[in-house]
Amino acid sequence: MNIDKRDINGKWNEYTLTNQHGMSVSVLDFGGIITKIMVPDRNGNIENVVVGYKDYSEYQQNPNYFGAIIGRVAGRIQGAAFELNGETYHLAANNGENHLHGGPEGFHQIIWQVTPFEKDAEVGLELKHTSVDGEAGYPGNVDITVTYTLTNDNQLVLAYEAKSDQTTPITLTNHAYFNLSGDLKHTIKDHYVTLNSSKFVELDEELIPTGKILNVEGTSFDFRGGRVLGDGFNDHFEQNKIADSGYDHYFIFDQTNEYSATVLDPESGRVMTVTTNEPGMVMYTSNSLGEELELAERSSCKYLGVCLETQASPASLHHQGFPSVVLKAGETYQKETVFSFMVED
């Protein structure tokens, strides 16, 4: 097990965690950004399975949120406002008239305090930040700890903890774009995904939840038995069309299986499972990713990565029946998501 630290442009630090099987995860203190995850394919070739910039200075803006911690609230908040305990709070509108991923100065834009740690069978990083009352328009002083742990079982564990002195919305996630082909050799069109979800959230033209929860049965959103992502890269189903011929939707987990999600790249043999105590996740298939970005291995393009953003639903701030994002004063927010990597023969 090993932890390396290197200076980036005299401004940031990048930490690389390596286990005894050669798997490694690289993380910036800026935004808690995962820059690389190196894992073997079925032939033992160790390659990167996340999307990242070639020039690290590009992370300063990072409009696609590559690899970053997202907060206070992951996702879109309708009208950049919400009501809580009879009071209306106004947030920055950075996605049309709506608030997206904590606003323009969200957790993806801060330098986290990082403490590395090493144990017998794991290495990791503890990232801390205090979000002050009124930051981005949210109430309460919130102490946040995000822990990245790499185990010798080729698991990356993301643990989130937060406490606030006022009741406030919070749901944290990581915005890594996964591509199991290795070094971005192919798009994710043929990635075979299984989701433990029979319901998803309907979106309007602005990608804001309408308040309706739809059944996946008979649609390209039914991943319960597994299907390739390319099934949804078309305009045949209205909800795929709204998401620019892809997916950008919240799936509510059925909570009956060991894994909430499984992703397989048949060519490389890489398999990634997702296990979480979150009630659901947004699956985003990089539908709006253009061709102008210079990434670590190639130029960017549509469908180059899939984000599996485990979280509660910000739609709960405006509609009944959605997993709540509200953390009460004095209570502890504790969530965990485990990404496990293996290969299929």
Q: Which residues are catalytic?
A: 175, 309
Rounded alpha-carbon distances, angstroms, from residue 50 to 21, 303, 317: 19, 13, 31
Instruction: Count the alpha carbons within 13 Å of 290 in the hemisphere toward its beta carbon.
Output: 3
Q: Token pair 């990048």 is at which residue? A: 14
Rounded alpha-carbon distances, angstroms, from residue 47 to 228, 303, 308: 22, 19, 20
Per the document, the length of the chain is 345
CB 234 within 8 A of CB 219: no
CA distance 344 to 180: 12
Rounded alpha-carbon distances, angstroms, from residue 42 to 17, 192, 271: 22, 16, 10
Rounded alpha-carbon distances, angstroms, from residue 102 to 58, 247, 281: 20, 21, 17
Q: Torsion angle, CA of 276/194/67/76, rounded to 10 degrees?
A: -80
CA distance 8 to 26: 12
User: What is the token pair recorded at 147?
Assistant: 């822990």
Strand order in the sheet with 227-228: 113-118, 122-131, 142-151, 155-164, 332-343, 270-276, 261-264, 192-195, 227-228
CB 144 within 8 A of CB 129: yes
Q: E-strand spans in 60-191? A: 69-70, 76-77, 81-84, 87-90, 99-100, 113-118, 122-131, 142-151, 155-164, 168-169, 173-174, 177-178
CB 73 within 8 A of CB 95: no
